Amino acid sequence: MNILTQQAQFDHPCPIRNVLHRIGDQWSLLVLETLSRKTLRFNEIGREINDISKQMLSRTLKRLEQDGFITRTVFAEVPPRVEYALTDVGRSFLVPMQALVQWADANHATICESRRQY
């Protein structure tokens, strides 16, 4: 039993593993990285990521909002405008996230070589 599992197995509502499970899905990191530069609208995020379906973008944004990483602001206009922006929590998350991205950047050549040799 490690730090990631010790609470999850007792169905605690909020173990570390729970947190990592959210950010460790297919799209969350990508969305947060996209929002790290500036506030964006729904379709703008979709166009940046380029291969995310509307459904998954919608779900991912909703969960990130629930968890307090981002805010969702609706403007009463037609056509509708909805803007997504990082919260303080979201911005503080960028620090460890960018360390990860940098590691990936520095090591991806090595990893690809490893895959090729396999």
Partner DNA sequence: AGCTTTCGGTCTACATTTGAGACTATCGTT
Partner DNA sequence: AACGATAGTCTCAAATGTAGACCGAAAGCT
Q: Are 27 and 52 in contact (CB under 8 A)?
A: yes
CA dihedral in degrees (61, 62, 63, 67; nearest 10)? 100
Positions 71 through 90 that interact with DNA (CB under 7 A): 72, 74, 78-82
Q: Which of 74, 77, 79, 115 touches its own copies (CB under 8 A)? A: 115
Q: Which of 2, 3, 11, 26 touches DNA (CB under 7 A)? A: 26
Q: How far is CA 66 from CA 13, 60, 61, 62, 78, in A?
A: 14, 10, 9, 6, 26
Positions 32 through 61 that interact with its own copies (CB under 8 A): 33-34, 37, 48-51
- Applying CB under 8 A, the residues found at the interface with its own copies are 1-5, 8-9, 13-21, 23-26, 29-30, 33-34, 37, 48-51, 65-68, 89, 92-93, 95-97, 99-105, 107-115, 118
